[in-house]
Amino acid sequence: MMTTIPIPMGQGVGYGLGVESVPLPCGTAWGHTGDFPGYFGNAFTTTGGSSQAVVLVNADGLSAQQQNDIWNAVTIGICGSG
By three-state DSSP, how is residue 76 classified? helix
On the question of pLDDT at 14 being above 90, the answer is: no
pTM over the 0.75 mark: yes
- What's the domain count of the chain? 1
Question: What is the domain extent for residue 65?
Answer: 5-79
Q: How many degrees, rounded to 5, is the angle at CA 4 between CA 81 and CA 32?
A: 50
By three-state DSSP, how is residue 61 classified? coil
pLDDT at 9: 67
Sign of the C-alpha dihedral computed for residues 38, 49, 51 and 12 taken in this order: negative
By three-state DSSP, how is residue 73 classified? helix
Q: pLDDT digits over 19-71, tens only?
A: 888 999 999 999 998 888 999 999 999 988 999 999 999 988 889 999 899 99
Torsion of CA 18, 73, 12, 46, to 10 degrees: -60
